[in-house]
Amino acid sequence: MLDYLKLMFKKQHKDGLKNQAEFTKVFSDIMLPRPKTFAFKKLFNIKPCNELPLSFAFIAAFPCLINTFASKEFITSPIGLIHLSAEFTRHQQINYREKITVKIKVEHAGTHPKGVLLKITSELIQNDLLCIKNTNVMLQVKSGGKNAKNAIVKQFKASDSSTINQQTLWRYARASGDYNPIHLSSLLAKIFGMRTAIVHGMYLVHYSLLSQHINSGYIKATFKKPCPVGTTVGIDDSTEQLQVFSNTTDLHLTIDHGHEPQL
């Protein structure tokens, strides 16, 4: 949590990420703390002998990501960035009990009607082999920008549902290291333009993959609409794309999985 407090007070660049230069940071000999893996498995009821989901790569690289945000090369505070999508591709099996190298690349990804896009790619490398590549697209909303209304009007059929309370999100924060205050405090969430605290987007990804037993080598999660804490979410698996809804019509997340699309 201390690392997040430091990021909150990082000086804001007057132009935000508009002039962010491309840079790469490499973190070698990273050992994932056993308690973190244990806490994650306990939170999602994963048996000790079972594999972690592909999306766990985000958590494995997360301390390196925070370090990258705190570096002088990252020109402004990352607090308030909106996570638009997270894409994962497995190239080789990875053993989280052994040391890994994390390579993070930050690059400007163009403009958006609501602000500036940033692409952050994390590569998890073990024994000199690329094991998992995770590409995240984030949005820094320009001053005065507003979130678009969700145009989805659909009745979803839940194959699984769960109510996500604040206690669950504190457990997830301890397991992941993601103490972003917009997820843990309604007061602080309001400071950043939210009506209340919202669920971690990646929590919804992990929950969806595990509840639906998805273990493919490629997934792409697209975040559609913030999910307030205390919401009961359901997963519609009636199509090949998983859809995470609430209130029968509010779409929060879609997950494509299977084979990586060919360019």
- For 15-27, how does the pLDDT look when each residue is reduced to its tens digit (9 = 90+)? 667 788 999 999 9
CB hemisphere CA count around 210 (13 angstroms) = 21
Residue 170 above 60 pLDDT?
yes
The phi and psi torsions of 35 (rounded to 5 degrees) equal -60, -35
Residue 135: closest CA among 260, 247, 3: 260
Q: Is-contact 28 179, C-beta < 8 A?
A: no
For range 142-153, the mean pLDDT: 52
Q: Kindly report, residue by residue over 196-214, the tens digit of the pLDDT.
A: 999 999 999 999 999 999 9
Residue 144 above 60 pLDDT?
no
Query: Which of 31-67 are b and which e, b meaning 16 or more Cβ less than 10 Å from the residue's Cβ?
Result: ebeeebbebbbebbebeeeeebbbbbbbbbbbbbbbe
Q: Residue 125 corresponds to which tokens in the numbers above?
A: 């490398």
Residue 214: closest CA among 176, 184, 244: 244
Name the pLDDT band for 97 (thresholds 50, 70, 90): very high
